[in-house]
Structure 1
Amino acid sequence: MAPITSRRTFLALAAVGAASAACGRATATGGSGGGETKKIRYQGWAGQVTLPELAEDLGYFGEVKLEWVGNTISGPQDIQSAATGQTDFGGAFNGAVVKLIAAGAPVKAVISYYGVDEATFSGYYVLADSPVRSARDLQGKKIGMNTLGAHSEAMLDIYLQRNGLSPAEIGKVEPIVIPPVNGEQTLRQKQIEVAVLGGVLRDKALAAGGIRPLFSDFDLLGRFSAGTFVLTNRFLKQNPNTSRIFVTGVARAIEWSRTTPREEVIARSTAIIQRRGRNEDTSTLKYWRSTGVAETAGRINDEEFKLWIDWLVSHGDIRAGQVRPGDLYTNEFNTYGG
């Protein structure tokens, strides 16, 4: 993800929320003007196969087709694009979704698409001989992560709070932005004391040796869904059947990934990338382990948003009572198993 500070992220999301609320755009053509749209515009991720792309390839969307408009640089950017009508859906960390809706954007979370479990998690790693052994040892230390004001910083705050650090003591811990591909190198060169590593970057670093985990998001919270796809309220109203096909198709893809042998999931994803011809590297796909989505079919519950609402309130990013979990999402369009 591109470096984004907490304040800059919040202000950008606030601006998007105000703009989208004022102009009321952010939808594909459809609804009362002549039937529902059968085309859904979206942004992808280089070298990755998203769940909607997998769902389409598996035939779960029927006549509904995805239209790729380019690749995104971050979750917050992806949902901003959906809110302003550049795309029809976007996905991000749930805290970013809370910020966007709190800022006035007329969007709704409709399905979880990534999360944390035993196989898919982010760890906070130190050098094997580091003196850092506890939360209190992090005071005065630099923690490298991909972006501020999002998942990694929230996990760090929760870890520090649970270990009894006061707000003043937490203020002495310094999270800084380090591009994920540079995290391991920056840690080994001792420019930072802790690196947040996940996925292939974590596995490669561990294979090289010389580092050890301090904690992980799975250690803190166990299995949980961490991010959701959003659609605008207008798109949902004008295109209820298309929305249902999309959300339920993604739900089916989640369960297909959960129940299909890992090697087959990787082979399918590799074939999808090779066919679309975007000159992408597929080597990292072999490290795929799971979506991390906790609930069956990606259904959303209040707790998945309450955690981040509380965190954002504690940081002063939103006011207490400004948003309620139940106002942020709907499972209405997820008919998996129904």
Structure 2
Amino acid sequence: MKRRQFLQSAAALTTGSLGLGMGLGQVFAQETGRMVFLTPQGFSLAFSAIMYGQSGGYFAEEGLDVHVEGGRGAAQTIQLVAAQQVDVSRTGGANYMIARVEQSAPVVAIATIAQTSPFFMISPEAAPIVDPQDYVGRTLGMASLGGSMEATLDLMLRRNGIDPAEVRRERIADTPAGYGMIEAGRLDGFFGNVSTATRLQAEGLPITIEPLRDGIPGQVYVVNDDTLTNRADELTAFMRGAYRAIQDMVERGDDLGPVIESMRSQFDIPGSDDTEVAIADLKGNRDLWVANGAENALRNDPEQWDEGEALLRAAGSLQSETELDLYTNAIWDAANAG
């Protein structure tokens, strides 16, 4: 029943209501040799593995025509993959696991892009939010309610014996503009990704930036179960293209200016015109991708997934039993064979 309800909810979504630029539809998304990738939130250097895979020609060299679309929330990326309106999307590990187990969502993780949480708590130096108890009674901003940011927050609170209801939430864009909400007294802090944290730090503002560590795979790439079964060769080409793009960025070290220029030629990436800050931003994201070693980029770490599932069950976020696979390394293995 819960799988049917999830599918009904996913089917109710239309790309028109999400405002996706290309008017994507099911037939379009499944066209042979053409793949649609959906980000969880607009265009950011956090998504460089895919954007550079496209702009740098890595996907084309693998015989794929990949189109990258900017999404409007991590929860919706899962629903659109379930509805087969997009081929591959990125979402938070905790958010995905809850949907897979509790709602029997017909989507499966084929890769882990951010091996640890990509989120930071950004708060004023005068009233920093660092320890779990600091969250109680505060009002926090986040890009998507019901998405990966909120799942990360709830998990962290429950692990520390705090009722998530004790923390108020407001939806805001994950951009440096969130600091203005703090200055106006509307927020006590907000969740930001590496890009937002890097830009605020570069401005020298009186803020505290605290990394979040929840023990869960940070961000994952998910596909529909049917896509995994029927389009394994194309997914292997997609994985190989993304992996090659990451390895190029690793081998370049600090020389990432050409990478940023390549992506800017095809994508409107906020803040990327400041090359020095953009390089620091990209390096911060790259660190998340290669936390388990550059050679393991995109690979799902079985021990990490087991630990993540155990933590979610201990926190009460996962209560149902399931026979569904939470992840597969079949595509990663095929892409890296030989």
Flag the 1:155–1:261 CA change in 2: closer, same or farther, 3 A.
same
1:255 corresponds to which residue? 247
Name 2:174's counterpart in structure 1: 180
Amino acid at match of 2:122: Y
Aligned to 1:210: 206
The residue number in structure 2 matching 1:148 is 145
* Contact 2:217–2:308 under 8 Å retained in 1: no
Pair 1:186–1:256, CA change in 2 (3 A): same
Q: For 1:64 and 1:16, how far apart are their aligned partners in 2? A: 34
**Where does residue 110 of structure 1 map in the other structure?**
110
Say if 2:73 and 2:143, in contact at 8 Å, map to a contact too: no
Any gaps of 5 or more consecutive residues in structure 2? 14-25
1:243 partner letter:
L
The answer to whether structure 1 residue 83 and structure 2 residue 78 are counterparts is no
Of 239-248 and 95-104, the range deviating more from structure 2? 95-104
Q: Which residue among 146, 165, 168 is the counterpart of 1:171? A: 165
**Aligned amino acid, residue 283 of structure 1:** D
Partner of 1:288: 282
Q: TM-score, normalised by structure 1?
A: 0.73
Contact 1:27–1:88 under 8 Å retained in 2? no
Q: Secondary structure at the match of 2:58?
A: coil
Aligned twin of 2:301: 301
In structure 2, C-alpha distance between the alignment counterparts of 1:52 and 1:200, rounded to whole Å: 16
Please name the residue that 2:329 is paired with. Answer: 331
In the TM superposition, residue 299 of structure 1 has moved relative to its aligned partner by: 0.7
SS at match of 1:283: coil
The 3-state SS of whatever aligns with 1:144 is strand
Question: Which residue of structure 2 lines up, in the alignment, with residue 33 of structure 1?
Answer: none
Looking at structure 1, the residues matched to 57 and 95 of structure 2 have their Cα atoms a distance apart, in angstroms, of 29
State the shift of 1:270 in Å: 2.0
User: One-letter code of the match for 2:81?
Assistant: A
Distance 1:253 1:84, change over 3 A: same
Cross-structure match for 2:22: none
Q: Cα–Cα, structure 1 residues 64 and 16, in superposed 2: closer, same or farther, change >3 Å?
A: farther
Query: Is the counterpart of residue 272 in structure 1 residue 263 in structure 2?
Result: yes
Aligned amino acid, residue 208 of structure 1: G
Partners of 1:26 and 1:84 within 8 A in 2: no
1:333 aligned counterpart, secondary structure:
helix
TM-superposed CA distance for 1:93, in Å, is 1.0
- Aligned-pair CA distance for 1:99: 3.7
Picking from 48, 51, 55, the partner of 2:49 is 51
Aligned pair count?
304
Q: Does 1:237 align with 2:222?
A: no
Max Rg structure: 1
Amino acid at match of 1:43: L
> d(CA) in 1 for partners of 2:179 and 2:194?
13
For residues 195-249 of structure 1, what are the alpha-carbon distances to aligned partners after superposition, in whole Å with 9 as ceiling and x for unaligned?
2233343233333332224x4215x65xx74111122232232222222221222
Say yes or no: does 1:228 pair with 2:225: no
User: In structure 2, what is the equivalent of residue 5 of structure 1?
Assistant: none
| Unmatched 5+ stretches in structure 1 | 1-9, 31-36
Q: Conserved in 2, the CA contact under 8 Å of 1:110 and 1:329?
A: yes
CA contact (8 A) 2:109 2:221 kept: yes
Give the Cα–Cα distance (whole angstroms) in 2 for the partners of residues 138 and 29 of structure 1.
Answer: 44
Q: Is the 8 A contact 1:226 1:304 kept in 2?
A: no
CA contact (8 A) 2:58 2:242 kept: no
After superposition, the C-alpha distances for 1:276-302 in whole angstroms (9 at most, x for unaligned) are 3x6655326343223312331211034
- Matched residue of 1:179: which SS? coil
